[in-house]
Amino acid sequence: MASIRKPDVKNEALRKDRALNPHPASVTDELFGSLEFFDPRDLVQVKYEMLRRVHQDGWSVAQAARTFGFSRNALCGSKAV
């Protein structure tokens, strides 16, 4: 007998708002692996933390992009760096 899977409410909300990260497994930052608050599926949170690593923690753009699963151009193209 097949079990009925409970819908993932957060996943559906992120998808509806177009904030679902298509590559959550590419996020390797330690925060996203150690604390429940940080969700690699949340594209807005991932991009915010990526920018924060550059501006507050002094990471290079290349290091932040690599750690958060983005290209360097994707990060620099945001004009927020």
Q: Are 38 and 49 in contact (CB under 8 A)?
A: yes
pLDDT tier at 78 (50, 70, 90 boundaries)? low
pLDDT tens digits, 18-68: 999 999 999 999 999 989 899 999 999 999 999 999 999 999 999 999 999
Please provide the DSSP assignment of 37-81 as one string.
T--TTBHHHHHHHHHHHHHTT---HHHHHHHHT--HHHHHTTS--
The whole model's pTM is what? 0.83
pLDDT at residue 75, as a whole number: 79
